[in-house]
């Protein structure tokens, strides 16, 4: 009797007991779900397996800027087209949201009453209206643009209609590769110059005009080379032929609507994160840097932002994850992302719902974990290093 | 552990096993019928908010067969994509949703098509101002297409076969298609010819739209149920057949009471005066009588919803009885 009481009141035993119980119940639950699903699939004669991935899709995807897609291609290729389109809108959206968010966050703190109020209104509006509505709003605006035959012409080379924005497509002729190589070399060398200049400044206090020298290297040198090689670049202009413009580059309204809605929505959150980050830096830091005579822009760049980043980056990561996951709303306006193409059309044409959904979920999980991984590395690099 | 596993197996079985859809429907007291999100003439709410159309009538006919009451039906809207999971999961008892009967849906998806209530084919609709008279002139056009449909596959095949290019604009519902087409985001809208007529009828100015002559596919549309429940499949199949047979025999909602004293044996069997066909289906013996009385025969439903006198203006064509130059044919009622 006594030993029995002692047994259960033993903390170690109790914790092991309950942990085993929880794991066991979880495993049983999982077993229950899987067995019920496979039982029901079998009972309803629903075919399972992965072989459908090799079958021809039979439908066309028009929005595929990176891969050529034909209706004879497989469902596997539908998947890759979807992943690329998802990444396209997520990456461009994250970049735009970050730039816009940083600017707005700083402007919000401005002493100009009007500017700071305007940003305040923007933030409260876009944070509090559902993203889906914003996507549909942008799309509805875009398809009210003039029809393709009455396209607006901008600067003689751009055409805007409700079929999208058409611009000339650059055609790289032989010799242009030298220019590309020059640009890459210039980028690497300005990076090295930057490092060298920093080291030198730490040692001797002497400054080097890094910014202007980088601009010179990256823009001027390749430009001179470009003209020496006889301008090896021409443009293919879009032309109205029959029903549509032929040739040129086109950005579709579905993409524009997604891009605008995602970046504007997320930028509102990022601007609040940036504002919180800047405000977390104690006032004394700003006053001290002003006291040693630093310029206003330098105070921001050298003192405030590096310290604010430590507060900004972790929640910023979660905004990137949100934006990526929110891109799955593309289905609302027919943007051919992963959920629409593979998780929608392929799923429906083959009926392999569980397989398709499992693949789509695994893909989003991988993308999210990859973003987290790199953001964590970045986060560690900017943390305060104790010596 | 073994005992525990077997308990789980039993629980799993109890959750998934159905007593049979017919019993489920009877116990519930009403039928759950999957229809479109709104396609005038087939299934769309009318001015009074009541679901009306050829497919809606199909749902009501089954409700009448089971309950003797045309109001005992709940209409559940499904998109081209959600319809199959909705049926497979038991969310609805049947679909009457402009669904094309194909081998892969019949066999691979685990459904059972019980008949055809509308023979259709895929067509194209363009603005008359576009100056196009044939689908082969559509090279380079932007085409609005509902995703997850057979029309999506036919479209790709048609353009590939004719060696012309197009740009697909995938849309989810007929309403989205209308919006994009009317705004000029796409040049052409393609779906079943009946759906085009329905869309055209709903346009602000129907005369400005032209349905092209090409019909590029066979689209037999019909009601479907889950595969494996043959008793329920029979109920739905014969509800449809009863309406077709009634037209063949000249029995209408107007004369059905008088026809009870007809001297044609098949009419008497149909109306439950002779034989016990209702009992075989586990329905009341006057089930077919009630369908004709409350819904009408196939012709009445057709003329009221999609026929030449409606805004859709679809001639009977293939959907005429086999005796009148069409291919509508039901097995004998005996």
Q: Which residue in chain B is spatially nearest to A345 when comparing CA positions?
A: B148
Q: Which helix (H) or strand (E) holds B190?
A: strand B188-192
What is the pLDDT, as a whole number, of residue A98? 96
Last residue of a domain, one of B217, B240, B263: B217
Provide the token pair at A330: 């593309």
Number of domains in chain A: 1
Number of domains in chain B: 2
How large is the average pLDDT for residues A167-178?
80
Q: Note whether A344 contacts B147, CB cutoff 8 Å.
A: yes
Query: Quick check: A61 contacting B, CB < 8 Å?
Result: yes
Stretch among A120-124, A139-143, A159-163 having the lowest mean pLDDT = A159-163
- Residue A52: is it exposed, middle or buried by C-beta count within 10 angstroms (0-12/13-18/19+)? buried
pLDDT at A167 over 90: no
- Asked if B86 and B92 touch (Cβ cutoff 8 Å), the reply is yes
Q: Which residues pair with B95 in a beta bridge?
A: B34, B224
What is the pLDDT, as a whole number, of residue A81? 94
Nearest-by-Cβ selection for B185 from A44, A143, A345:
A143
B97 and B36 in one domain? yes
How large is the average pLDDT for residues A69-96?
93
B311 and B200 in one domain? no
Nearest-by-Cβ selection for A59 from B11, B152, B180:
B152
pLDDT tens per residue, range B64-116: 999 999 999 999 999 877 888 899 888 999 999 989 999 888 887 889 999 99
What band does A20 get if pLDDT is binned at 50, 70 and 90? very high
**Nearest-angstrom CA–CA distance, A251 and A65:** 10
Q: What are phi and psi of B229, to 5 degrees?
A: -105, 85
B297 and B245 in one domain? yes
What is the pLDDT, as a whole number, of residue A4? 57
Provide the token pair at B243: 């309406």
pLDDT at A232 over 90: no
Stretch among A96-105, A184-193, B231-240 having the lowest mean pLDDT = A184-193
What is the pLDDT, as a whole number, of residue A3? 53
What is the pLDDT, as a whole number, of residue A120? 95
B249 and B204 in one domain? no
- Asked if A53 and A75 touch (Cβ cutoff 8 Å), the reply is yes
What band does B17 get if pLDDT is binned at 50, 70 and 90? very low
How large is the average pLDDT for residues B271-294?
93
pTM to 2 decimal places: 0.79
What band does A46 get if pLDDT is binned at 50, 70 and 90? low
- Asked if A117 and A208 touch (Cβ cutoff 8 Å), the reply is no
- 3-class DSSP assignment, residue B41: coil
Residues of B with CB below 8 A from A42's CB?
none
What is the pLDDT, as a whole number, of residue B1? 45
pLDDT tens per residue, range A242-265: 788 887 888 899 999 999 999 999
Other beta carbons within 10 angstroms of residue B126's beta carbon come to: 25
B148 and B57 in one domain? no
Q: What is the CA radius of gyration of chain B?
A: 21
How large is the average pLDDT for residues B139-153?
87
What band does A211 get if pLDDT is binned at 50, 70 and 90? confident
Residue B284 covered by a domain? yes
B255 and B233 in one domain? yes
Strands (E), chain A: 152-154, 158-161, 164-167, 169-172, 233-236, 239-241, 244-246, 249-251
What band does B19 get if pLDDT is binned at 50, 70 and 90? low
Quick check: ipTM above 0.95? no
How large is the average pLDDT for residues A123-131?
94
What is the pLDDT, as a whole number, of residue B16? 45
CA distances in angstroms from B214 to A351, B100, B101, B149, listed in the order given: 29, 18, 21, 19
Task: Please spell the DSSP secondary structure of B203-271, one letter per residue.
Answer: SSSGGGEEE-S---S-EEE--EEETT-HHHHHHHHHHHHHHHHHHHHT--TTTHHHHTT-S-HHHHHHT
Residues of A with CB below 8 A from B142's CB?
163, 243-244
Residue span of the structural domain in which A308 resides: 75-148+253-382
Query: Quick check: B84 contacting A, CB < 8 Å?
Result: yes
> What is the distance in angstroms between the Cα of A55 and the nearest Cα belonging to chain B?
13
- Asked if A238 and A159 touch (Cβ cutoff 8 Å), the reply is yes
Other beta carbons within 10 angstroms of residue A232's beta carbon come to: 15
- Identify the residue among B170, B178, B225 best suited for mutation to test binding to A, counting A beta carbons within 10 A and taking the highest: B170
Strands (E), B49-151: 51-52, 73-77, 94-95, 111-113, 118-120, 122-127, 141-146
Residue B72 covered by a domain? yes
Nearest Cα to Cα of residue B81 among B143, B146, B169, B33: B146
pLDDT at B15 over 70: no
pLDDT at A2 over 70: no
- Residue A185: is it exposed, middle or buried by C-beta count within 10 angstroms (0-12/13-18/19+)? middle
pLDDT at B5 over 60: no
pLDDT tens per residue, range B120-140: 999 999 998 888 888 888 888
Residue B9 covered by a domain? no
B106 and B75 in one domain? yes
B110 and B257 in one domain? yes
Query: Quick check: A348 contacting B, CB < 8 Å?
Result: yes
B168 and B95 in one domain? no
pLDDT at A92 over 60: yes
B192 and B108 in one domain? no
Residues 6+ apart with CB under 8 A from A65: A84, A85, A88
What is the pLDDT, as a whole number, of residue A44? 65
* CATH label of the domain that carries residue B175: 3.40.190.10
Residue A191 covered by a domain? no
B227 and B213 in one domain? no
CA distances in angstroms from B51 to A253, B55, B197, B257, B299, listed in the order given: 35, 9, 19, 26, 19
What is the pLDDT, as a whole number, of residue A319? 95
pLDDT tens per residue, range B24-61: 999 999 999 999 988 889 999 988 989 999 999 999 99
Residues 6+ apart with CB under 8 A from A234: A170, A171, A173
Give the N- to C-terminal CA distance of chain B in Å, as an integer.
Answer: 55
Query: Quick check: B298 contacting A, CB < 8 Å?
Result: no
> What is the distance in angstroms between the Cα of A366 and the nearest Cα belonging to chain B?
26
* CATH label of the domain that carries residue A80: 1.10.3720.10
Q: Which residue in chain A is spatially nearest to B79 when comparing CA positions?
A: A348
Residues 6+ apart with CB under 8 A from A321: A368, A371, A372
pLDDT at A241 over 80: no
Q: At what angle do helices A253-280 and A75-108 cross, to 10 degrees?
A: 40
What band does B12 get if pLDDT is binned at 50, 70 and 90? very low
CA distances in angstroms from A160 to A134, A249, B117, B126, B187, listed in the order given: 21, 12, 45, 22, 17
What is the pLDDT, as a whole number, of residue A141? 93
Q: What are phi and psi of B243, to 5 degrees?
A: -70, -40
Q: Which residue in chain A is spatially nearest to B13 when comparing CA positions?
A: A36
Chain position carrying tokens 């697909």: B168
Nearest-by-Cβ selection for A353 from B8, B85, B169:
B85
Residue B89 covered by a domain? yes
Instruction: Label residues A65-91 b or e (16+ Cβ within 10 Å = b).
Output: eeeebebebebbbbbbbbbbbbbbbbe
Provide the token pair at A38: 């496979």
Residue span of the structural domain in which B74 resides: 19-119+221-324
What is the pLDDT, as a whole number, of residue B10? 45
**Nearest-angstrom CA–CA distance, A123 and A109:** 13
Provide the token pair at B213: 């002559």
Last residue of a domain, one of B217, B251, B278: B217
Count of H-run helices and E-run strands, chain B? 14, 14
What is the pLDDT, as a whole number, of residue A5? 64
Name the more confident of B7 and A14: A14
pLDDT at B184 over 50: yes
pLDDT at A10 over 50: yes
What is the pLDDT, as a whole number, of residue A347? 87
pLDDT at A129 over 90: yes
How large is the average pLDDT for residues A42-55?
78
What is the pLDDT, as a whole number, of residue A40? 77
CA distances in angstroms from A113 to A30, A276, A281, listed in the order given: 57, 18, 22
Q: Which helix (H) or strand (E) holds A263?
A: helix A253-280
Other beta carbons within 10 angstroms of residue A226's beta carbon come to: 18
Nearest Cα to Cα of residue B319 among B31, B22, B37, B42: B42
Chain position carrying tokens 């891969």: A67
**Nearest-angstrom CA–CA distance, B47 and A339:** 36
**Nearest-angstrom CA–CA distance, B299 and B302:** 5
Residue B106 covered by a domain? yes
Residues 6+ apart with CB under 8 A from B252: B246, B292, B296, B297, B299, B300
CA A48 distance to own-chain centroid = 34
Residues of B with CB below 8 A from A24's CB?
none
Residue B11 covered by a domain? no
B170 and B42 in one domain? no
How large is the average pLDDT for residues B202-231?
89
Other beta carbons within 10 angstroms of residue B285's beta carbon come to: 17
**Nearest-angstrom CA–CA distance, A115 and A120:** 9
Residue B292 covered by a domain? yes
Residue B4 covered by a domain? no
What is the pLDDT, as a whole number, of residue B61? 96
What residues 250-279 of chain B have any CB closer than 8 A to a CB of chain A?
Answer: none
CA distances in angstroms from A48 to A36, A39, A56, A351, B230, listed in the order given: 14, 12, 17, 9, 23
Last residue of a domain, one of B189, B217, B245: B217
Nearest-by-Cβ selection for B226 from A44, A253, A345:
A44
What is the pLDDT, as a whole number, of residue B235? 95
Query: Quick check: B141 contacting A, CB < 8 Å?
Result: yes
What residues 221-240 of chain B have any CB closer than 8 A to a CB of chain A?
Answer: 226-228
């Amino acid at each position: 009797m006594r030993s029995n009481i002692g047994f259960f009141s033993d903390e170690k035993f109790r914790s092991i007991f309950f942990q085993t119980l929880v794991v066991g119940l979880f495993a049983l639950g999982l077993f229950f779900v899987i067995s019920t699903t496979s039982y029901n699939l079998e009972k309803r004669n629903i075919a399972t397996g992965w072989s459908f991935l090799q079958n021809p899709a039979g439908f066309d995807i028009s929005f595929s800027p990176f891969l050529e897609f034909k209706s004879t291609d497989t469902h596997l290729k539908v998947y890759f087209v979807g992943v690329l389109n998802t990444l396209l809108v997520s990456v461009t959206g994250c970049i735009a949201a970050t730039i816009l968010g940083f600017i707005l966050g700083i402007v919000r703190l401005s002493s100009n009453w009007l500017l700071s109020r305007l940003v305040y209104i923007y933030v409260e509006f876009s944070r509090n209206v559902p993203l889906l509505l914003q996507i549909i709003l942008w799309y509805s605006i875009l398809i009210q643009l003039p029809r393709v035959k009455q396209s607006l012409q901008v600067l003689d080379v751009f055409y805007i209609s409700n079929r999208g924005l058409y611009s000339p497509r650059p055609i790289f002729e032989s010799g242009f590769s030298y220019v590309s190589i020059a640009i890459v070399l210039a980028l690497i060398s300005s990076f090295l110059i930057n490092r060298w200049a920093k080291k030198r400044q730490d040692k001797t206090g002497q400054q080097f005009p890094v910014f202007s020298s980088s601009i010179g290297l990256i823009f001027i040198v390749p430009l001179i080379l470009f003209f020496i090689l006889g301008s090896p670049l021409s443009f293919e202009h879009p032309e109205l032929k029959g029903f549509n413009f032929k040739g040129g580059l086109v950005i579709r309204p579905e993409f524009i609507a997604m891009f605008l809605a995602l970046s504007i929505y997320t930028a509102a959150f990022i601007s609040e994160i940036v504002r919180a980050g800047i405000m977390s830096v104690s006032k004394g830091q700003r006053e001290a840097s002003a006291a040693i005579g630093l310029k206003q822009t330098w105070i921001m760049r050298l003192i405030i932002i590096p310290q604010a980043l430590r507060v900004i980056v972790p929640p910023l990561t979660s905004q990137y994850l949100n934006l990526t996951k929110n891109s799955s709303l593309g289905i609302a306006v027919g943007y051919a992302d992963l959920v629409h193409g593979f998780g929608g059309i392929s799923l429906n044409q083959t009926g392999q719902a569980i397989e398709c959904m499992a693949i789509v979920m695994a893909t989003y999980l991988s993308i999210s974990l990859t973003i987290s991984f790199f953001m964590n590395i970045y986060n560690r690099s900017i943390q305060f290093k104790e010596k | 552990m073994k005992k525990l596993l077997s308990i789980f197996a039993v629980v799993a079985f109890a959750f998934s096993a159905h007593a049979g859809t017919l019993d489920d429907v009877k116990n519930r007291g009403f039928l759950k019928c999957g229809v479109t999100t709104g396609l005038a003439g087939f299934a769309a709410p009318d001015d009074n908010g009541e679901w009306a159309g050829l497919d809606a009538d199909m749902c009501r006919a089954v409700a009448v067969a089971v309950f003797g009451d045309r109001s005992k039906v709940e209409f559940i809207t499904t998109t081209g994509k959600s319809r199959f999971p909705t049926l497979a999961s038991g969310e609805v008892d049947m679909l009457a949703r402009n669904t094309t009967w194909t081998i892969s849906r019949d066999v691979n998806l685990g459904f059972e098509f019980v008949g055809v209530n509308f023979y259709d084919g895929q067509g194209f609709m363009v603005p008359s101002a576009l100056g196009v008279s044939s689908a082969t002139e559509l090279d380079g056009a932007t085409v609005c297409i509902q995703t997850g449909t057979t029309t999506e596959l036919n479209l790709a095949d048609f353009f590939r076969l004719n060696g012309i290019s197009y740009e697909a604009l995938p849309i989810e519902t007929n309403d989205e298609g209308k919006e994009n087409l009317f705004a000029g985001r796409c040049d052409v809208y393609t779906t079943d010819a009946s759906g085009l007529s329905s869309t055209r009828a709903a346009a602000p100015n129907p005369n400005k739209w032209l349905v092209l002559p090409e019909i590029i596919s066979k689209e037999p549309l019909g009601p479907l149920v889950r595969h494996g429940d043959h008793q329920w499949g029979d109920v739905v199949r014969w509800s449809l057949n009863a309406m077709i047979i009634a037209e063949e025999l000249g029995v209408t909602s107007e004369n059905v009471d008088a026809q009870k004293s007809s001297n044609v044996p098949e009419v008497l069997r149909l109306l439950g005066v002779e034989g016990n066909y209702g009992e075989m289906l586990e329905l009341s013996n006057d089930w077919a009588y009630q369908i004709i009385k409350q819904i009408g025969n196939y012709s009445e439903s057709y003329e009221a919803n999609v026929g030449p006198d409606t805004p859709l203006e679809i001639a009977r064509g293939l959907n005429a009885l086999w005796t009148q130059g069409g291919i509508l044919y039901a097995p004998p009622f005996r």
